């Protein structure tokens, strides 16, 4: 069985500040990990993914995440938040067929 836990249902940052969204996974097999973003009344957009190889993964819109097996973590970061980053972020894990999502973290960005 696989699962992900996102720490913090809401994260608030100021524009220009570092963004850190936390995700820990549980998996009995090597995991494949993803971060998706969802803007209001929209579908989910893939930000980045980790499959194998390099543990630091770069995604779209300046986001990146680091896979740390020893900590079973896959935290999402962005050096400088922009107002347009305000959205819901979902961490997800998959093995062979279907995605298992975390509960989501709402990122709030203030001017």
Partner 1 sequence: DTEVTQTPKHLVMGMTNKKSLKCEQHMGHRAMYWYKQKAKKPPELMFVYSYEKLSINESVPSRFSPECPNSSLLNLHLHALQPEDSALYLCASSQGGEGTEAFFGQGTRLTVV
Shortest approach of partner 1 to residue 22 CB, angstroms?
16
Q: In angstroms, what is the minimal distance from the CB of 33 to partner 1?
A: 9
Shortest distance, position 44 Cβ to partner 1, whole Å = 4
Query: Which residues touch 89 (CB under 8 Å, ≥6 apart)?
Result: 6, 21, 35, 36, 37, 38, 47, 76, 104, 105, 106, 107
Of the pair 66, 88, the CB lying nearest partner 1 is at: 88
Q: Which residue, 34 or 74, has its beta carbon nearer to partner 1? A: 34
Specify burial of residue 106 (Cβ count, 10 A radius: 0-12, 13-18, 19+): middle
Which residues of the shown chain bind partner 1 in the complex (CB under 8 A)?
A: 32, 34, 36, 41-46, 49, 51, 90, 94-99, 101-104
Give the shortest CB-13-to-partner 1 separation in angstroms: 20
The CA distance from 53 to 100, in Å, is: 22
Using DSSP, state whether 102 is helix, strand or coil: coil
**By C-beta, is 5 or 17 nearer to partner 1?**
5
């Amino acid at each position: 069985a696989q699962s992900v836990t996102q720490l913090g249902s809401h994260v608030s940052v100021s524009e220009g500040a570092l963004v850190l969204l936390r995700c820990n996974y549980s998996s009995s097999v090597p995991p494949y990990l993803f971060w998706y973003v969802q803007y209001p009344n929209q579908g989910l957009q893939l930000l980045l993914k980790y499959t194998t190889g390099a543990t630091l993964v770069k995604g779209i819109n300046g986001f990146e995440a680091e896979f740390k097996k020893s900590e079973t973590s896959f935290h999402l970061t962005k050096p400088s938040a922009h107002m347009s980053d305000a959205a819901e972020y979902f961490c997800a894990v998959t093995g062979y067929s279907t995605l298992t999502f975390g509960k989501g973290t709402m990122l709030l960005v203030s001017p």
